[in-house]
Structure 1
Amino acid sequence: MNPEQNIYKIKIIISLKKLLERGKSLQKELKDNKVVYSYHGVASNALLRKATINDTLNGITSPKATTLISIVEAMEFTMSDFGREFDSILDQEIETYQNENS
């Protein structure tokens, strides 16, 4: 994987983790929310294996577009929400991720 592809992969991981955390915060405020913001809950809603969610969010694999869309929608976010998170990631966040996961 070339360095640019690696940066994209890291930005995808960070973006998904931020959406997951945002979902957990929202879940506390919503009484009738049926989405569970955990790897298992997202996997269930996305109709994907929990291992797929785990591997994606832990950087083991890069998701295909259809898998990425399924994960984002399973968390009840839009691809626009994902795009905003992706675009807002700072170089420092990427560097921190690389240092913590190397």
Structure 2
Amino acid sequence: MNTEENIYKIKIILSLKKLLEKGKNLQKEFKDHKIVYSYHGVASNALLRKATVNDTLNGNTMPKAVTLISIVEGMGFTMTDFSKEFDAISEEEVKLYLQDHT
């Protein structure tokens, strides 16, 4: 995987993790919120295997577009929400991720 692809992969991971964390915070605010913000809950909502969600969020695989969309929507967010998170990730965040995961 070339450097640009690696940066995109990291930004995808960080964006999904930020959405997952936002969802967990929303869940605390709304008692009847039906989405469970765990890998298992997201996988169930997205109709994906838990291993697929796990591998994507842990950076083991680069998701196909359909998988990415399914995960984002399985968390109860839109691709617009995802793209805002993706665009907001700084080079510094990518560097920190690389330091922590090499």
- TM-score, with structure 2 as normaliser: 0.99
Structure 2: where are the runs of 5+ without partners? none
- How many residues matched? 102
- Partners of 1:45 and 1:76 in 2: how far apart? 9
Tell me which residue corresponds to 1:87.
87
Tell me which residue corresponds to 1:19.
19
- TM-score, with structure 1 as normaliser: 0.99
Instruction: After superposition, give the CA deviation of every residue in 1:33-56 in whole Å (9 maximum; x if it has no partner).
Output: 010000000000001000000100
Tell me which residue corresponds to 1:57.
57
Report percent identity of matched pairs: 72
Task: For residue 31 of structure 1, report the CA deviation from its aligned partner.
Answer: 1.4
Tell me which residue corresponds to 1:39.
39
Tell me which residue corresponds to 2:72.
72
- Partners of 1:54 and 1:76 in 2: how far apart? 17
Task: For residue 73 of structure 1, report the CA deviation from its aligned partner.
Answer: 0.2
What is the RMSD computed on CA atoms of the aligned residues?
Answer: 0.4
